Chain A
Amino acid sequence: NAGVTQTPKFQVLKTGQSMTLQCAQDMNHEYMSWYRQDPGMGLRLIHYSVGAGITDQGEVPNGYNVSRSTTEDFPLRLLSAAPSQTSVYFCASSYRGASGDYTFGSGTRLTVV
């Protein structure tokens, strides 16, 4: 049972490049979310999903796209990377969102130069 797997763990991008952060879970969780964590800002919600085919915007969605074609996968796409997107990104999943017991991945540290 791998839990929530995020790849890559580290990434350096040049301004304007695009990339996809991968997130996969093997717990059959319906709820999945993407957060970014910046010093002094805490965790901020980017996008979330309550099931396959259903996604919605969180607090800071600009510059990011998501899709949820399967229950297991929830990739986050950076369309045109900017230095302001330098951050640590966490994917999380939960069986029942209301219980708050999300399982988080180990994070992707992204640097945009």
Chain B
Amino acid sequence: EDQVTQSPEALRLQEGESSSLNCSYTVSGLRGLFWYRQDPGKGPEFLFTLYSAGEEKEKERLKATLTKKESFLHITAPKPEDSATYLCAVQGPSNTGKLIFGQGTTLQVKP
């Protein structure tokens, strides 16, 4: 059964304190791994797609990496506006658009 597990559930950082969020996955034939950001009361917003082990993507203070079993979202020198819930999702081999989401990591960055 395809499964996605994110850790930690919640993370509190001081502004400027770098850290990483983890996404472990089990899927038969990974077609893609995706990171989303969700602000309270809003729908998720797409951040990155990673297709194969070793791939990296960057956007401002965020950097996503992928191995054969997990993905990391590295946050460098975070700011309070980076506070949000970060969701990880995977898609299996069939191109049906079926995404399996993890439970998310809620990040709070204090000034």
Contact = CB atoms under 8 A, between A and B. Distances in A.
Contacts of B7: none
Nearest to A30: B97
B95 A40 contact: no
Most chain B CB within 10 A, of A35, A43, A50, is at A43
A94 B97 contact: yes
Given A31-B97, A90-B43, A102-B44, 6 more contacts: A43-B44, A45-B99, A50-B96, A99-B32, A100-B49, A104-B43
Interface in A83-113: 90, 92, 94, 97-107
Interface residues of A, number: 29
Interface of B: 31-34, 41-46, 49, 87, 89, 91, 95-104
Identify whether the interface residues of B are mostly helix, strand, loop, or mixed: loop
A110 to B, nearest CB: 15
A71 B84 CA distance: 32
A42 B103 contact: yes
Nearest to A33: B97
13 contacts: A33-B97, A33-B99, A40-B103, A42-B87, A42-B101, A43-B99, A48-B96, A48-B97, A48-B98, A56-B96, A92-B44, A98-B32, A100-B34
